[in-house]
């Protein structure tokens, strides 16, 4: 775990105690921005039943869409690791970029120049007001870790990512790695 101040590019892992929260139970969030005014992140391990083609028919691809968070779920966002191909991208950290020129992005996907290892789409995002995330940290809702995957996190499988992160933490967290998603239903 990291005891340093929050910085963009870190991962927020939902504490096992967050049970019953539909958005954040077993979530891993990439912190995309953090400053004195607030924070923005994307849940990177919760795929939806949609593909990019379902939402934007002119894109000939079956890239999965992920639930980025409960804020603005009617908007599409993306992170990627190809800033040399997608103009106007904003660096998060570790070679991960947020957004950029969407027309170029559509063309690159259709031509096969970028794939699931280069880009991830989200409906919505996770947002916190100026001190909200710190308050949640103080209440032990999140575990902060560095993103050891760097820009390869984009292609990382999502099905068991929370469990993998909990196993890496070890110690008292190991018991939670095989617990049912809602222990009350056990």
Taking the C-alpha atoms of residue 97 and residue 72, their distance in angstroms, rounded to an integer, is 20
**pLDDT exceeding 70 applies to what percent of the chain?**
90
Q: Is residue 180 very low, low, confident or very high in pLDDT (cuts 50, 70, 90)?
A: low
pLDDT at residue 119 is higher than 50: yes
β partners of residue 13: 28, 143
Average pLDDT over residues 55-59: 97
Instruction: Give the pLDDT score at 140.
Output: 87
Token pair in block for residue 155: 């292609």
Taking the C-alpha atoms of residue 44 and residue 157, their distance in angstroms, rounded to an integer, is 9
Q: Is residue 54 very low, low, confident or very high in pLDDT (cuts 50, 70, 90)?
A: very high
Least confidently predicted of 53-57, 96-100, 149-153, 172-176: 172-176
Higher pLDDT, 88 or 22: 88
Q: What is the pTM of this model?
A: 0.90
Higher pLDDT, 62 or 169: 62
The separation between CA 96 and the C-alpha centre of its own chain, rounded to angstroms, equals: 11
DSSP string, the chain: ---SPP-TT-EEEE-TT--S-TTTTT-EEEEEEEETTEEEEEE-S-EEEEEHHHH-TTS----EEEE--SEEEEEEEEEES-TTTSTT-EEEETTEEE---HHHHHHHHHTTSS-TTTEEEEEEEEEEETTHHHHHHHTT-EEEE--TTGGGGGGS--TTHHHHHHHHH-GGGGGGGGS-SSGGG-
Contact 89, 144 (CB under 8 A): no
Phi, psi of 79 (to 5 degrees): -120, 155
Token pair in block for residue 84: 């040399």
Average pLDDT over residues 120-148: 93
């Amino acid at each position: 775990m990291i005891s340093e101040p929050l910085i963009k590019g870190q991962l927020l892992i939902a504490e096992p105690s967050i049970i019953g929260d539909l958005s954040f139970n077993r979530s891993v969030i990439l912190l995309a921005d953090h400053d004195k005014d607030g924070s923005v992140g994307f849940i990177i391990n919760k795929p939806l039943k949609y593909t990019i083609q379902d939402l934007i028919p002119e894109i000939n691809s079956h890239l999965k869409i992920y639930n980025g968070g409960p804020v603005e779920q009617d908007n599409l966002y993306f992170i990627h690791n190809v800033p040399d191909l997608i103009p106007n991208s904003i660096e998060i950290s570790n070679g991960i970029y947020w957004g950029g020129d969407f027309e170029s992005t559509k063309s690159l996907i259709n031509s096969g120049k970028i794939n699931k290892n280069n880009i991830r789409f989200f409906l919505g995002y996770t947002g916190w007001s100026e001190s909200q995330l710190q308050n949640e940290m103080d209440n032990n809702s999140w575990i902060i870790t560095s993103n050891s995957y760097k820009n390869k996190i984009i292609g990382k499988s999502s099905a068991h990512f929370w469990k993998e992160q909990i196993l890496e933490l070890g110690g008292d967290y190991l018991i939670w790695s095989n617990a049912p998603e809602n222990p009350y239903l056990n």
